[in-house]
Amino acid sequence: TEIYFEPRRRRGGSYSFNIGTAGSISLVIQAIMPALLFSDKHSRVEIIGGTDVSWSPPIDYMRHVFLYNLSLLGVNAKLKVYRRGHYPRGGGKVLIEISPAAEPLKPVHAVLRGKIVRIRGISHAVRLPRHVAQRQASSAAEYIKKEIGIEPEIEIEAYEGRRDPHLGPGSGILVYAEVERGTRIGADSLGAKGKPAETVGREAGEKLVEELRSNMAFDRHMGDMLIPYLFLASGESIVGVSSLTMHTITAIEVAKKFLPEAYVRIQGSTGEPAKISVAGVGFSP
């Protein structure tokens, strides 16, 4: 199979995309951000679809972990969630604002995470009783405190007893660590029919503890999401990821097709903690 792609001018501005299903809003954001970041003006993009769905980062990860970590490279973007969307009905609505980069992105040097400063999170339940979100949060907090001795601060988002604008039902939880190196390390779990809230919360807690035990500055999912921006940045970036995934390896190989002049070195094996060095091209509009 051959894919032919001929890019034309990048144009910022106001856009509205309706996926039409519970398809992932987060994946759309991943696709459009690099182009709009180097466009001719500020962009406001409204996207309707799924905010918390399988096989993609939840919208809370995007706003609390992904965008925060990209800000270390100089990316200026804001994400507002108006309504959550879960499978199968979707209906989530978000607005992302992206300011064009005035200069090439900065390289980032973050291999080891250092000390854990604090752990935060958000547990939500829509078109469901409030206790679902509370039980998710309690289960995650109990596991994290038992394993690493830190009491997480987890916000509860629920609508029982007041207007609930969501199509729902659905639930989920994100927990993330703010660490000494200045990065954020995240983990999440999604509710499902027949899946106890306690299981959802514990899954998120277990995933975060596993990420933190690697001592690396970025979690496995942030590892692959960072790659396009490291290739575009000016100078050498060196980052540590908790686990070298096939997603990350694929992202590197695709980025090489677009920017073959960039240099990449991977120290580590698939499925293990790794250090990735990228000498970016210093792309500017």
Find where tokens 């100089």 sit.
74
Strand partners, 97: 44, 78
Burial of 147 (0-12, 13-18, 19+ CB in 10 A): middle
Q: Is 119 exposed, middle or buried (0-12, 13-18, 19+ CB in 10 A)?
A: buried
Spatial distance between the Cα atoms of 220 and 198, rounded to a whole number of angstroms: 24
DSSP string, 143-171: HHHHHHS---EEEEEE-TTS-------EE
Contacts of 241 (CB under 8 A, 6+ apart): 216, 218, 219, 220, 222, 223, 248, 273, 274, 275, 276
> Are the beta carbons of 171 and 130 closer than 8 angstroms?
no
- Residue 247 is a catalytic residue: yes
- DSSP lists the bridge partners of residue 177 as 119, 185
- Angle 25-37/220-232 helices, nearest 10 degrees? 20
What residues are labeled active site? Answer: 247
